[in-house]
Amino acid sequence: MQKPKAEKRAENIAHILLSRGAVIFEDKLLHSERTAPVYVDCRVLNGYPREAKIIAGCMADLIKHLEFDRVAGVAYGGIPMATMVAWSNDWPLLVARKEAKEYGTKQLIIGPYEANDRVVLIEDVVTTGKSVLKTALTYRTAGLQVSGLATLVDACQDGLEALAEEKITAHTCTDLRTIIEMARSTGRLNDTVRYELCKKYAPARTY
- In a domain, residue 74? The reply is yes
Find the distance separating the first CA and the last CA of the chain, reported in whole Å.
Answer: 21
- In a domain, residue 20? The reply is yes
CATH of the domain at 108: 3.40.50.2020
Domain span including residue 152 = 5-201
pLDDT in tens, 15-47: 999 999 999 988 777 777 777 788 999 999 999
Q: Which residues pair with 70 in a beta bridge?
A: 119
- In a domain, residue 22? The reply is yes
Q: Which of 149, 153, 155 is nearest to 135 (CA)?
A: 149
- In a domain, residue 35? The reply is yes
Based on the structure, what is the number of domains in the chain?
1
pLDDT in tens, 75-101: 999 999 999 999 999 999 999 987 766
Calculate the CA dihedral of residues 173, 190, 202, 56 and round it to 10 degrees: -10
- In a domain, residue 207? The reply is no
* Residue 201 pLDDT class (50, 70, 90 cuts): low
Contact between 155 and 16 under an 8 Å Cβ cutoff? The reply is no
Contact between 26 and 37 under an 8 Å Cβ cutoff? The reply is yes
Cβ atoms within 10 Å of 181's Cβ, excluding its own? 16
Rounded alpha-carbon distances, angstroms, from residue 176 to 2, 45, 58, 153: 22, 17, 17, 7
- In a domain, residue 206? The reply is no
**Residue length, the chain?**
207
Calculate the CA dihedral of residues 145, 147, 150, 156 and round it to 10 degrees: 90
Residue 204's pLDDT is 47
The CA distance from 80 to 69, in Å, is 19
- In a domain, residue 104? The reply is yes
- In a domain, residue 176? The reply is yes
Side chain identity, residue 196: E
The whole model's pTM is what? 0.91
